[in-house]
Amino acid sequence: MNKIQLIVALLVAAFSLFSYFGSSSLNPITGEKQRVAGMTPKDEVAMGLQSAPQMAQQMGGLSQDARARALVSQVGAKVVAQSVAAKSGYPFKFHTLADPRTVNAFALPGGQIFITMALLSRLETEGQLAGVLGHEVGHVLARHSAEHIAKEQLTQGLTGAFAMGAGSMDAAQIGRVVGQMAMMKYGRDDELEADSLGLRLMSEAGYDPRGLIKVMQILERSSGGSRQPEFASSHPSPANRVQKINEVIARAFPNGVPAGLTP
């Protein structure tokens, strides 16, 4: 390794760090300052719209069950329209995927929300569906995708600088693993934040927040005991999430969950 190589590596690392830490954006929904690498909500919407058809195709396309599609769209629209999500400006759209085996729901940047028939068919109440969709809307409102893109750019920049300075691809691979481990922690935190936001959204829309606890129990049963240890997973264990959900509900409703909410 020569001096010029080291200087260039340090400059690359410094630029990556400055790009990430040098600017922040205030999230009007969560009130948090976020590092999103200059990505705007409009950019997120465009990215989500572009990716949505491909994501649907990868999971068997959209469901042909018209009643299922209508239910998902109606509950999703209610969660958005009757909660703080309505003020976000994101054009939310809810998709039901035909996949009968993969128990999953996810959100693309900008408001494209998906749930598989495998998960939908396991849900027992409208409130449970509202909990799933509210959780995914929470990811969008918290701008988790934009945060992850910014972190990935930082990781790539530092990995490149590390490889340049060490003069070894093996060193680059080590740096990449370190970056991935750091991203895992953020993934777990994101899930817990989305749970908290989802509880808020579904409650504001008139749904009993305890429905999300039932969702966690359904996910636990669906896993068949084959989950990875929480340390090596981007998702907290359902048991851990139930504990956190109960804590959020207790703070939001210190006198107990009001009667009359849709289960």
> Phi first, then psi: what are they for 201, rounded to 5°?
-65, -45
Query: Would residue 136 show up in a list of annotated catalytic residues for this protein?
Result: yes
Question: Hey, which residues does 108 pair with through a beta bridge?
Answer: 112
Tokens, residue 222: 């669906």
- State how beta strands 33-34 and 105-108 pair: unpaired
What is the rounded distance in angstroms from the CA atom of residue 100 to the CA atom of residue 97? Answer: 8
Q: Which residues contact 145 (CB under 8 A, 6 or more apart)?
A: 44, 47, 107, 108, 109, 139
Question: What is the H or E stretch that residue 26 is in?
Answer: strand 25-26
Would strands 93-97 and 105-108 be described as parallel, antiparallel, or unpaired?
unpaired
Given the DSSP bridges, would you call strands 33-34 and 112-116 parallel, antiparallel or unpaired? unpaired
| Distances 130 to 30, 37, 199, 255, 258 between C-alpha atoms, Å | 20, 31, 9, 23, 17
**Pairing of β 112-116 and β 93-97:** parallel
Q: Give helix 126-141 / helix 66-81 axis angle, nearest 10°.
A: 60
Q: Residue 46 corresponds to which tokens in the numbers above?
A: 């465009």
Report residue 12 CA to chain centroid gap.
30
Which is the catalytic residue, given 44, 124, 126, 136? 136
Catalytic residue IDs: 136
